[in-house]
A and B are shown apart, each in its own frame.
Chain A
């Protein structure tokens, strides 16, 4: 019988807990934040939260004059849990907006909640293309301060073609993020005259690339990869160990500062593209990198920078709104009117509420940077594509007429 009694007590406790957590009436900005704080993505989740909190700490816990109540919830890297936590933030903590979400699947799962609950959702990392493309109409209270997966890779495809590379083999993690990064690269590369001659899709989480590396066609000029997590560490190591010395062009996340300190010298010379590099040589970025590193003991990657600049963006928007939260529609309009000078460079939103920003082509180099006295791996910027939109140079209408990038789109015309 005790078990049943416990259940009643439990329900009772829940009720009390809710009553106790009722929000105070002061003029504070309540921001909910979801990130995977536990589970395999816990470290990335921490970097995300740290980025946002660094800005808050630097600004006395105020954004645009409002005191901030910053509530972090753990989505455990699972879309289901993300939905529950977002609902908790909205229903119980009565947040004005919620931010975050790492995985594309989490982004897709929580965006409808913002529509249903008429609460602003700012995606500060999650990069699923279609949220700000073909599905935008469904999510009127949604905006993105980060990127779309294909955005920097269009530029990388163009860059590869400009270097005179003719043939590319693609090897990428077999899931939506992989498809979208590859799609962007292939589209721009082939429109410029290059040919993708082979596509290999190892499953997400592959650690042994033994079965895949020998199948890479020998007559290729370059290898384009999208690897995430442990895959990013293993692939270059195993490729070089197998004696393959073709240049690697990687998705930005494969060489993000998040994994870079754990990589060996074999990655020196590898090229990748992203909308941020810790090695951007501007005073703004240097200040940010130093502040972040002295507080958290590591070089910030894009996960941290994007959240830092999201906080900065909100700061300016609330200021423009006169020190109060003006409601989601108005807030989005204000956000769209701001040209932000972030550590990553100038950023502004396009009409689809996705950032237009610099894309950096980066090469891994071992050197000293920003006065640190050790030789370390840095993502040296070798070319900057300014003001890159999610539609690259195709224009919105034309771009949206094609389907979202997928395992089979763009089709592999030159594969045999």
Chain B
């Protein structure tokens, strides 16, 4: 498992470098990185389902949304979560996300493939509809404006402080998910992804496995939502809209499903193109589109598939050259 240790070391080193570099690169970059990292937690939760269990969920924005709305409503209506009690809102957000997933899972997990996708999509739209129509609670189309970030000795209103907090959450989430997918439970999920019938014959309760990971993914979605609300200071139905779910799926596919790190990279690239490149050129959407198309065409494993492809290429080249040498050798 030396290669695993090396991978962990590399990821840690990159996160550390990220933590060191970003705060010095201008406050807009800090803001952008914070947004991307928050969203990366959501993308990783999608990866748990898509990459490790083979379930393509189109409704992940729902858990993200309830986390965000919970935070905003508590902060504006009850003044909860703006001091030390922020640390109560975080687990509460996770719980609400998980609880909603537990409810939706009852409907969705029964189906597979396209049907699973359609059911999660429909359930996600229910949450969007609720956010849009329940004016007294959610402010309808206008959304909810939050008055400020929590402050408890640490002032999270400071963008750099908040950046570090989100980075810590990202690293923590990544670690927990990593442990989860490496566990025997995670291994059996991979089994379900590869061949569910065989797992059933082996005696695994595959429904329960899928249900549990669905709930866990919902919990992480809720966590991302809590952070997202504080990142933007504003929650509106746009947070819960279908595009959010689709974006998170695309980010995972772009980075490479089933790698966790890939989801983070995918998020970083999409946010970079969408929110940074768009400040530079008006045709950023073409670039984003081209990146998606090229990835699907040439890198079905996503960007994380590049190293293994390169290795393959070098390996086959080496073989050919070796063969040439043999052929030209005078006998």
Contact = CB atoms under 8 A, between A and B. Distances in A.
Contacts of B232: 80, 83, 109
Interface in B133-147: 133, 135, 140-143, 145, 147
A21 to B, nearest CB: 9
Given A81-B275, A84-B32, A128-B142, 14 more contacts: A1-B10, A6-B265, A7-B14, A10-B272, A14-B26, A73-B279, A79-B234, A88-B31, A105-B141, A105-B143, A111-B145, A112-B145, A176-B141, A407-B135
Contacts of A7: 14, 18, 265, 268
B282 A104 contact: no
A90 to B, nearest CB: 9
B285 interface: yes
A7 to B, nearest CB: 6
Interface of B: 10-11, 14, 17-18, 21-22, 24-29, 31-33, 35, 132-133, 135, 140-143, 145, 147-148, 232-234, 236, 238-239, 255-256, 261-262, 265, 268-269, 272, 275-276, 278-280, 282, 285, 303-304, 306-307, 310
B143 A109 contact: yes
Contacts of A19: 26
12 contacts: A4-B10, A4-B11, A6-B265, A11-B17, A19-B26, A73-B278, A80-B232, A84-B31, A87-B27, A104-B141, A105-B236, A175-B141
Q: Which secondary structure characterizes the binding site on chain B?
A: helix
Nearest to B285: A38
Contacts of B10: 1, 4
A18 interface: yes
A11 B22 contact: yes
Interface string A204-246: 1000000000000000000000000000000000000000000
A280 to B, nearest CB: 31
Contacts of A41: none
B277 to A, nearest CB: 10
A80 B236 contact: yes
Contacts of B22: 11
A10 B17 CA distance: 12
- On chain A, which size bracket covers the interface? 35 or more
A88 B141 contact: no
A91 B29 CA distance: 10
A287 interface: no
Contacts of B279: 73, 85, 88, 92
A78 interface: yes
B285 A80 contact: no
A4 B14 contact: yes
Given A79-B143, A81-B275, A112-B233, A105 B28 contact: no
A18 B142 contact: no
B269 A84 contact: no
Contacts of A111: 145
A123 to B, nearest CB: 14
B26 A18 contact: yes
A3 interface: yes
A15 B278 contact: no
Given A74-B282, A105-B142, A108-B142, A15 B35 contact: no
Contact of A15 (B21, B141, B142, B238): B21
Contacts of A175: 132, 140-141
Given A78-B238, A79-B236, A87-B31, A15 B268 contact: no
Contacts of B269: 6, 10
Given A10-B272, A105-B142, A84 B35 contact: yes
B275 A112 contact: no
Interface in A174-199: 174-177
A138 B26 CA distance: 28
B159 to A, nearest CB: 9
Contact of B239 (A3, A8, A80, A176): A80
B306 A91 contact: no
Nearest to A174: B133
Given A3-B265, A15-B21, A80 B29 contact: no
A143 B27 CA distance: 26
A116 B146 CA distance: 12
B261 A3 contact: yes
Contacts of B256: 3
Given A83-B232, A109-B236, A3 B255 contact: yes
Interface string A1-45: 111101110111011011100000000000000000110000000
A109 B145 contact: yes
A174 B24 CA distance: 45
Contacts of A91: 26-28, 31
A406 interface: yes
A1 B262 CA distance: 11
B272 A14 contact: yes
B143 A3 contact: no
A15 B143 contact: no
A8 B17 contact: yes
B105 to A, nearest CB: 28
Contacts of A73: 278-279
Contacts of B33: 11
Contacts of A128: 142
A15 B24 contact: yes
Contacts of A407: 135
Nearest to A82: B234
Contacts of B239: 80
A105 B239 CA distance: 12
A85 B32 CA distance: 10
A406 B135 contact: yes
Contact of B142 (A80, A104, A116, A204): A104
A81 B280 CA distance: 15
Most chain A beta-carbon contacts within 10 A, residue among B261, B279, B282: B279
Given A83-B233, A91-B27, A91-B31, A176 B262 contact: no
